Amino acid sequence: MSHPLIYAANWKMQVDPGQARAFAAAFLDGFVPSPGDSYWFFPSAVSLEAAARALAGCPAVAVGAQDVHWEPQGAFTGATSVPLARGAGATLVLVGHSERRHVFGETDGDTARKVRAALGGGLDPLLCVGELLEEREAGTTEAVVLRQLDAGLDGLARDQLARVTVAYEPVWAIGTGKTATPGDAAAVHRAIRGALAGLGHPTPKVLYGGSVNLANAAQLLAEPELDGVLVGGASLDPAGWRKIVAGG
């Protein structure tokens, strides 16, 4: 039997509140969670409450924000705070997604502030790390990923670390149709797991993300280093997502 898995859906800038309700109804219809597995959804901020309400019937499901500001409130037009996300029903939050880092210019320092704000305000962070193509080609994948990890998590207490999950998402694999091989992903996961253990994390869990779909999910998840997947495009269709979370 495989170990418990986390299936995380990142809807990015898609799925409005009505579509989130329709997705939840279709996804939950006759759905039987696998014992031990968890199903996480990251809708946009405007769809957070609709998704959280519509998915609330299933205890194995949790909903999270895609990003938060580190300040709890104030004049930050367009931003979502931890208390606002919590009020909308989030219990989780993505921090440091590659699109935040590389499209919006988020720094390692920003991710560190966001991780701390999330933990302090009652959201469990899913910290995303991953290298650019040129970094992989230069042989610096591990160094980049471990730097991002250290920067995000340094100085956290063990009970705080215990609430952090990590997603390894190679930037060159996101939305490109290119996936890391299970072996390549496993090598990076092993390094991340070791670093997390070194920081004092009692139960490190590492998800893989980057062009995961129905055709490759089962093969990737057969690799024991993967504790789950974080999926963009292939999580948008409820029937397809049901097949992926059912094991392909």
Write each residue from 150 to 189 as x if it is in contact with ligand 13P (CB under 6 A), else as -, in one continuous string: -------------------x----xx--------------
Q: Which is nearer to ligand 13P, 53 or 246 (CB)?
A: 246
Among 17, 33, 121, 233, binds ligand 13P (CB under 6 A): 233
Candidates 82-90, 103-111, 209-217, 220-228 — which segment interacts with ligand 13P by CB under 6 A?
209-217
- Quick check: 129 binds ligand 13P (CB under 6 A)? no
Among 7, 10, 148, 170, binds ligand 13P (CB under 6 A): 10
Among 63, 180, 206, 212, binds ligand 13P (CB under 6 A): 212
Residue 97 among the catalytic residues: yes
Residue 223 among the catalytic residues: no
Question: What is the closest distance, in whole angstroms, from the C-beta atom of residue 174 to ligand 13P in the complex?
Answer: 4
Among 81, 111, 165, 211, binds ligand 13P (CB under 6 A): 211
Candidates 13-21, 104-112, 195-203, 232-240 — which segment interacts with ligand 13P by CB under 6 A?
232-240
Question: What is the closest distance, in whole angstroms, from the C-beta atom of residue 6 to ligand 13P in the complex?
Answer: 13
Q: Of residues 19-58, which lie at the interface with ligand 13P (CB under 6 A)?
A: none
Three-state DSSP string of the chain: CCCCCEEEEECCCCCCHHHHHHHHHHHHCCCCCCCCCEEEEECCHHHHHHHHHHCCCCCCEEEEECCCCCCCCCCCCCCCCHHHHHHCCCCEEEECCHHHHHCCCCCHHHHHHHHHHHHHHCCEEEEEECCCHHHHHCCCHHHHHHHHHHHHHCCCCHHHHCCCEEEECCHHHCCCCCCCCHHHHHHHHHHHHHHHHHHCCCCCCEEEECCCCCCCHHHHHCCCCCCEEEECHHHCCHHHHHHHHCCC
> Of 97, 135, 201, 225, which is the active-site residue?
97
Q: Tell me how far apart the alpha carbons of residues 139 and 156 are, in angstroms, rounded to a whole number.
A: 29
Of 121, 125, 95, the closest CA to residue 108 belongs to: 95
Q: Which is nearer to ligand 13P, 112 or 129 (CB)?
A: 129
> Of 49, 106, 135, 169, which is the active-site residue?
169
CA distances from 195 to 143, 190, 225 (A): 11, 9, 14
Question: What is the closest distance, in whole angstroms, from the C-beta atom of residue 144 to ligand 13P in the complex?
Answer: 17
- Quick check: 210 binds ligand 13P (CB under 6 A)? yes
Which residues does the annotation mark as catalytic?
97, 169
Contacts with ligand 13P by CB under 6 A lie at 10, 97, 169, 174-175, 209-212, 230-234
